[in-house]
């Protein structure tokens, strides 16, 4: 089994005082070989931590005494030290099947691991969940978890997952709820498959079978030009309107029956249907913000100055755990600081242009006009790389941004939302430094954008 490696040690921490160094391999902790960062953290919180290490071919024993719960001061190499449990479903709408060849290998990994659901907020179908997994989740209270439902009708769910276990795996959802585990659900709606009457049936099934579910997001499928599934297509405007009407109707039913809305539609549906977003209070604290639920309203609160940090909270265990490894789309967004300095030498007083996807532009333009930034330009980046109905800013690629920047005028500040980056790298493997114009990386929230734009106004 692969073992965790130390990638960083905090200065003046117990680990630093004990001589732990980056590159050390952790063989065991208090006699136990941790399977993942969950077990690692539980042991690291103990007042006495005995580490068996491997360093340069040597085996070392290190004993660290500290206060219970005091951070050990070690960042480890990964979230899961044994093998990630991969997905054995073959969903028609799975976006991983719609990626072009030649991208980074990590992008093709399909996980269905409940630990990554707890750690990062990833959605799991529970088709590979076991009795042993249930026992661990309950014993260690690994909560919240995030579950892909898609349909409560067993035959329809099995068909959508292309996995016969999909017909019965929601029994684990029932057992998790019975054990008091907080669970958030998701329904990816595919036209002509689980929309229409089937969607109403699913929402009724959630109320009837899983009323303890905290929230359930209703989101549209994404269809790239690389999809090989003939049945998969984007929603029409009228279909999006139908979904919104269904969600609104069932929110009323849930409010009446449970005192909670439970069901929420993604922002994309409102954009497709051409409808106004619900009021901020109708999102009940934005519990599925990272799933695209209420992002536009929370962004508005932040941009206006009314709500500092209204949305954008990280899901899962890693919103607080010490030594959380930075992996995949959870990795730091921006490039290394020295790279950013080289890219932001342009004058702060220059007029500003925001690079954004088609959906982002539809949200941003009215907000910028309303809150004192009408002079800010938007430069929409058509997503030719993925094609299809992909219009979210998080899937902008370096090649598409380079294409639009190449024709853009010099002498402007070009602001790029960090949501499309992982360690300064785009999904297509390009780096920020490869772009034909300097850009400023701005965190994808209204507070950060407001501050960046105001810096320009002060400089002017």
Q: How many contiguous H segments (helices) and E segments (strands) does the chain have? A: 14, 13
Residue 41: HSE in the Cβ half-sphere, 13 Å Cα cutoff:
18
Look at 281 and 110; give whichever has higher pLDDT. Answer: 281
396 confidence band (pLDDT: 50, 70, 90) = very high
pLDDT of residue 311: 58
pLDDT of residue 31: 95
| pLDDT at residue 326 is higher than 60 | no
Digit-coded pLDDT (tens) for 97-152: 999 988 877 778 888 999 999 988 899 999 999 999 999 999 999 999 999 999 99
Question: Do residues 386 and 448 touch, judged by C-beta distance below 8 A?
Answer: no
Pairing of strands 48-55, 25-29: antiparallel
- Name the helix (H) or strand (E) containing 364: helix 358-370
Helix, strand, coil % in the chain, rounded to nearest 5: 40, 15, 45
User: Torsion over CA of 61, 63, 69 and 71, rounded to 10 degrees?
Assistant: -70
348 confidence band (pLDDT: 50, 70, 90) = low
pLDDT of residue 336: 56
Look at 211 and 348; give whichever has higher pLDDT. Answer: 211
The arithmetic mean of pLDDT across residues 45-52, rounded, is 95
Look at 243 and 424; give whichever has higher pLDDT. Answer: 243
CATH fold for domain 6-76: Pdz3 Domain (2.30.42)
337 confidence band (pLDDT: 50, 70, 90) = low
231 confidence band (pLDDT: 50, 70, 90) = very high
The arithmetic mean of pLDDT across residues 256-271, rounded, is 98
Residue extents of the structural domains in the chain: 6-76, 95-319, 331-459
pLDDT of residue 386: 94
Q: What percentage of the chain carries pLDDT values higher than 90?
A: 75
pLDDT of residue 264: 98
Residues in CB range of 11: below 8 A, 6 or more apart: none
The arithmetic mean of pLDDT across residues 439-457, rounded, is 89
| pLDDT at residue 349 is higher than 90 | no
pLDDT of residue 339: 46
Distance, in Å, from the CA atom of 304 to the CA atom of 35, rounded to the nearest integer, reads 45
- φ, ψ of residue 85 to 5 degrees: the values are -80, 110
Place of tokens 């959630």: 206
Exposed/middle/buried for 453, CB within 10 Å: 0-12, 13-18, 19+?
buried
Residue 308: HSE in the Cβ half-sphere, 13 Å Cα cutoff:
1
CATH class for the region spanning 95-319:
alpha beta
pLDDT of residue 102: 80
pLDDT of residue 353: 96
């Amino acid at each position: 089994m692969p073992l965790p490696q130390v990638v960083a040690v905090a200065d003046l921490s117990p680990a630093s005082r004990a001589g732990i160094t980056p590159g050390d391999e952790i063989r065991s902790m208090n006699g136990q070989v941790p399977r993942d960062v969950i077990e690692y953290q539980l042991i690291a919180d103990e007042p006495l931590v005995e580490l068996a290490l491997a360093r340069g071919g040597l085996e070392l024993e290190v004993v660290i005494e500290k206060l219970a719960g005091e951070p050990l001061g070690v960042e480890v190499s990964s979230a899961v030290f044994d093998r990630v449990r991969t997905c054995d479903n073959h969903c028609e709408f799975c976006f991983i099947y719609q990626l072009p060849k030649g991208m980074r290998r990590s992008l093709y990994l399909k996980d269905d691991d409940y630990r990554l659901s707890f750690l990062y907020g990833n959605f799991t179908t529970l088709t590979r969940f076991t009795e042993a997994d249930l026992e661990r989740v309950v014993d260690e209270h690994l909560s919240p978890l995030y579950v892909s439902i898609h349909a409560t009708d067993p035959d329809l769910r099995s068909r959508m997952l292309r996995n016969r276990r999909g017909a019965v795996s929601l029994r684990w959802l029932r057992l998790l709820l019975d054990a008091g585990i907080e669970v958030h659900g998701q329904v990816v709606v595919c036209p002509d498959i689980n929309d229409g009457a089937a969607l109403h049936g699913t929402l009724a099934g959630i109320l009837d079978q899983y009323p303890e579910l905290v929230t359930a997001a209703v989101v549209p499928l994404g269809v790239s030009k690389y999809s090989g599934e003939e049945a998969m297509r984007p929603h029409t405007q009228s279909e999006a309107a139908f979904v919104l009407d269904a969600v609104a109707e069932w929110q009323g039913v849930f409010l009446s029956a449970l005192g909670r809305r439970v069901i929420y539609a993604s922002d994309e549906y409102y954009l497709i249907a051409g409808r106004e977003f619900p009021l901020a209070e109708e999102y009940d604290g934005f519990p599925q913000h990272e799933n695209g639920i209420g992002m536009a309203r929370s962004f508005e609160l932040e941009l206006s100055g009314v709500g500092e940090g209204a949305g954008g909270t990280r899901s899962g265990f890693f919103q607080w755990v010490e030594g959380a490894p930075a992996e995949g789309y959870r990795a730091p967004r921006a490039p290394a600081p020295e790279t950013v300095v080289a890219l932001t030498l342009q004058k702060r007083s220059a007029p500003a242009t925001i690079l954004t996807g088609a959906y982002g532009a539809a949200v941003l333009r009215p907000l910028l006009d309303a809150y004192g930034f009408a002079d800010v330009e938007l430069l929409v980046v058509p997503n030719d790389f993925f094609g299809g109905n992909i219009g979210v800013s998080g899937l902008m690629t370096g090649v598409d941004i380079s294409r639009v920047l190449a024709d853009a005028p010099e002498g402007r500040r070009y602001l790029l939302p960090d949501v499309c980056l992982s360690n300064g790298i785009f999904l297509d493997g390009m780096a920020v430094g490869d772009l034909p114009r300097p850009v400023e990386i701005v965190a994808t929230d209204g507070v950060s954008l407001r501050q960046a734009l105001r810096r320009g106004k002060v400089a002017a």
